[in-house]
Amino acid sequence: MKLLLLGGSIFLGRQIVEVALAHGHEVTLFNRGKHNPDLFPNVEKLRGDRDGDLVALHGRRWDAVIDPSGFVPRQVQASAQLLANAVDHYTFISSISVYADFSKAGIDESCPVGTLADTSVEEVTNETYGPLKAVCEQAAETALPDRVLVVRPGLIIGPDDPSDRFTYWPHRIAQGGEVLAPEQRDQPVQFIDVRDLAEWIVRMVEARQTGTYNATGPVHPLTMQYVLEVCQSVCSSPIYRGRSKAHFTWVSEQFLIDNEVVPYVELPLWIPSTEPEATGHNAVNCTKAISAGLAFRSLADTVRDTLAWDATRPVDVVRSGGLKSEREEQLLLAWHKQL
């Protein structure tokens, strides 16, 4: 199969390329060449910009295209219209953030998506990200009716994740000592390993599947406590010998709110029960994708591989998420003083 990737140099796009090559497909990348330009030296690379420079795509044909880099409807519309007669199948990577209401658990693909009061807006913010993705989905389907696969992942985790939205926990727990954790131990948590998602996407493309699929997991519900304890168990391996074993101090939600700890940013995975999306954000229904073959590796494998990748990063890397060590120490001191 001749496969075109719009992007393909970071995280999910990069992993999709890895899987596609492993499956024996011929891959072409279209991107600006600003991220990991030397990656995949034997893969054809077309240079351009989705914001007005699609010249390199003219006059070519592929069996399918995968679009993990579309965030602005105007740009998705342009690429989809250009490729409508050049490909048989278009996969758009969207997000569960498209849904308008997370106040209830069990959101499935039939639930309403968010809308924009100003349809001309292109600035991607926490408020516009989901609705913009929803309009991008519509743009792709309009250009290629009945030939589009829409994938709506939740939190994607694993090696090469630059966001630290999950990596913080394995990394921090591997350091040992007292670890601040949010007291809602039974809070549900959902995410998917980037490699599992990429494998499934490539297989869906191979089968020319269309329609919309929520794609997060795993099959069985996870809790915050279970996730952190798996991290602790993996970090108890002999490879971490010499570091003090991590132990958790579970602090109350109210304490975290009073001290203005930023949910999902300073404490990845944590969503206060007071927030409207607390109920549904980590309880999305993925039955349709699972029935279509979406499978999940063990959490321990993901933690272990994430730690191995994290160990290759510079010691002084600026991390995008998680509590800074000084901030964690201050919070723990304040917590113990009030007891």
Residue 159 to residues 11, 12, 300, Cα–Cα distance (Å): 8, 10, 13
Structural domains present in the chain: 2-153 (3.40.50.720), 168-189+220-277+298-338 (no CATH)
Q: How many helices (H) and strands (E) does the chain have?
A: 10, 13
Cβ neighbours for 83, distance < 8 A, ≥ 6 positions apart:
4, 57, 62, 65, 90, 143, 144
- pLDDT for the residue 136: 97
Contact call for residues 280 and 105 (beta carbons, < 8 A): yes
Q: Per DSSP, what are the bridge partners of residue 80? A: none
How far apart (Å, rounded) are the C-alpha atoms in residues 318 and 309?
Answer: 15
* Residue in the structure block whose two tokens are 């020319």: 208
Whether omega before 218 lies within 30 degrees of 0, making that bond cis, reads yes
Quote the tokens at residue 61.
Answer: 């044909």
The length of the chain is 339
How far apart (Å, rounded) are the C-alpha atoms in residues 267 and 179?
Answer: 11
- pLDDT for the residue 113: 98
Q: What is the DSSP letter of 190?
A: -
- pLDDT for the residue 248: 97
Low-confidence ranges of the chain (pLDDT < 70): 238-244
Contact call for residues 110 and 214 (beta carbons, < 8 A): no
- DSSP letters, 28-80, are EEEE-S-SSTTSSTTSEEEE-BTTTB-GGGTT---SEEEES---SHHHHHHHH
Q: What is the DSSP letter of 114?
A: P
Residue 269 to residues 132, 149, 260, 263, Cα–Cα distance (Å): 23, 28, 16, 8
- pLDDT for the residue 241: 57
How far apart (Å, rounded) are the C-alpha atoms in residues 8 and 17?
Answer: 6
Contact call for residues 198 and 19 (beta carbons, < 8 A): yes
